[in-house]
């Protein structure tokens, strides 16, 4: 299956480790090079803003999906190819899932984890079969990966975690696995 659009879930903050922002910029450049449209949360701050700006700087296409509630908080990006303003967070996630062929998860907070786990759950329930990539920049997700493996070891998962989530340590690894 060819990937024409990728949903990227990430923080509206940049975090403390400079590698997070660096990887977001590198991934944006690579997505544009592959002519993969970025579908993301529509903000201009944090890793969200970094990846959108990187795709746009390379002439790529970017669709933002932002709920009315977050327009001021996340400061919607004004320079996007497309921007959908939706009523709530659930609608945002649903549209982002519908508009993408794969999902890539970068470092982020509660919202990013919510999006990751909903995507994985929908994948497990066969609501969709989209590939899910986790960009483990600077080992950000090491503890989560260990916990997922513990869930698998203790018999709470229906298959190996590697069947649902593709872990990558850098943007080039995502690029190599997605192209």
pLDDT along the chain (179 residues), means of 10: 92 97 98 97 94 98 90 75 91 92 97 94 89 97 97 94 94 90
pLDDT score, position 72:
64
Per the listing, tokens 């869930």 go with 151
Give the CA dihedral 4, 114, 53, 22, nearest 10 degrees: -100
| Rounded CA separation 61/67 (Å) | 20
Element (H, E) at 84: strand 82-86
Other C-beta atoms lying within 10 Å of the C-beta of residue 32:
20
By C-alpha distance, which of 99, 104, 112, 102 is closest to 173? 104
Exposure pattern of 53-62 as b/e (b: 16+ CB <10 Å)? bbbbeeebbb
CA distance 133 to 164: 9
What is this structure's pTM? 0.94
Give CA–CA dist 81/120, Å, rounded: 28
- Topology adopted by domain 5-139+166-178: Rossmann fold (3.40.50)
Contact 102, 130 (CB under 8 A): yes
Round to whole Å and give the CA distance between 168 and 162: 11
Percent of the chain at pLDDT > 90 equals 78
CB-CB neighbours of 71 under 10 Å: 14
């Amino acid at each position: 299956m060819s990937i024409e659009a990728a949903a990227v879930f990430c923080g509206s903050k940049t975090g403390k480790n400079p590698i997070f922002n660096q990887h977001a910029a590198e991934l944006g450049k690579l997505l544009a090079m592959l002519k993969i449209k970025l579908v993301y949360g529509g903000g201009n701050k944090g890793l969200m803003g970094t990846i959108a700006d990187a795709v746009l700087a390379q002439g790529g296409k970017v669709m933002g999906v932002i709920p009315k509630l977050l327009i001021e908080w996340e400061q919607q990006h004004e320079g996007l190819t497309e921007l959908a303003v939706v009523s709530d967070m659930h609608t945002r996630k649903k549209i982002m899932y519908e508009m993408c062929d794969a999902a890539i998860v970068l470092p982020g907070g509660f919202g990013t984890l919510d999006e990751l786990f909903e995507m994985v759950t929908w994948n497990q329930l066969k609501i969709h079969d989209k590939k899910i990539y986790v960009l483990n920049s600077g080992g950000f997700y090491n503890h989560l990966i260990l916990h997922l493996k513990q869930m698998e070891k203790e018999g709470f998962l229906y298959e190996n975690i590697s069947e649902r989530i593709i872990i990558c340590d850098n943007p080039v690894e995502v690029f190599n696995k997605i192209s």
